[in-house]
């Protein structure tokens, strides 16, 4: 049962359910901007972007990197389906910098390759930003 004034966050990757816990509020990136969710939010389905999932619980705050996907807000349940997620404290800034350099070095020749490069660059930039913040 979800306590009044709380949401139930379910964070799922293809491998496992990472979180299934009550939260007070959360913020995360959509593909076209950031959004915050509080209890009582109208229903929502959206496409996620790359970046930080910031979670406020009764006992404190948590931060995760999310790698695109989809979100559904229905009643007091927020379901986030993402291809990859990790605590921001687990991000290696050096590795993220190398991923960014590799992504920037690519030379796309087709529209599909340009779209892939843009995604890889954005993902690496977000990871690097979160990784540096944790240092």
> Residue 69 maps to which CATH number?
2.60.15.10
Give domain status of residue 122, yes or no.
Answer: yes
Inform me whether the pLDDT recorded for 52 exceeds 60.
yes
- How many domains does the chain fold into? 2
Question: In this structure, are 82 and 56 located in the same domain?
Answer: yes
Same domain? For 21 and 82 the reply is yes
In a domain, 2, yes or no: no
Assess whether 73 and 110 both reside in one domain.
no
pLDDT of residue 135: 47
**What are 99-117's pLDDT values in tens digits?**
999 999 989 999 999 999 9
Q: Report the C-alpha gap between 63 and 1 in whole angstroms.
A: 24
Domain containing 22 equals: 7-88
What proportion of the chain, given as a percentage, has pLDDT over 90?
84
Same domain, 119 and 104: yes
Q: Which strand (E) or helix (H) includes residue 17? A: strand 17-23
Residue that is last in its domain, among 53, 68, 88:
88
29 Cβ contact partners less than 8 Å away, ≥ 6 residues apart: 35, 48, 49, 50, 51, 52, 66, 126
Quote the pLDDT of residue 78. 97
Between residues 114 and 3, the one the model is more confident about: 114
Task: Clarify whether residues 68 and 105 are in a common domain.
Answer: no
Please state, as a whole number, how many other Cβ atoms lie within 10 Å of the Cβ of residue 5: 13
Q: pLDDT by residue (tens digit) across 122-132? A: 999 999 999 88
Nearest to 7 by CA among 46, 55, 68: 55
Mean predicted lDDT score pLDDT of the chain: 92
Residue 123 in domain: yes
- The predicted-structure confidence for 27-39, as pLDDT tens digits, reads as follows 999 999 999 999 9
Co-location of 78 and 14 in the same domain? yes
CA dist 58 and 9 (Å) reads 13
Residue 1 lies in a domain: no
Q: Are residues 14 and 53 in the same domain?
A: yes
pLDDT tens, 54-91? 999 989 999 999 999 999 999 999 999 999 999 999 99
Confidence (pTM)? 0.86
The pLDDT-based confidence of 4 (bands split at 50, 70, 90) is low
Q: Are residues 42 and 70 in the same domain?
A: yes
């Amino acid at each position: 049962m979800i306590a009044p004034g709380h949401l139930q966050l379910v964070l799922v990757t293809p491998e496992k359910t990472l979180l299934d816990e009550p939260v007070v509020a959360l913020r995360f990136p959509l593909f076209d901007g950031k959004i915050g969710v509080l209890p009582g939010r109208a229903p929502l389905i959206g496409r996620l972007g790359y970046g930080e999932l910031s979670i406020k619980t009764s006992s404190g705050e948590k931060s995760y990197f999310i790698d695109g996907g989809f979100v559904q807000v229905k009643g007091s349940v927020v379901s986030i389906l993402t291809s990859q997620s990790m605590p921001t404290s687990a991000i290696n800034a050096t590795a993220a910098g190398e991923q960014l350099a590799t992504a920037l070095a690519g030379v796309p020749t087709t529209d599909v390759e340009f779209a892939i490069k843009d995604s890889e660059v954005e993902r690496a930039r977000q990871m690097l930003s979160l990784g540096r913040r944790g240092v």
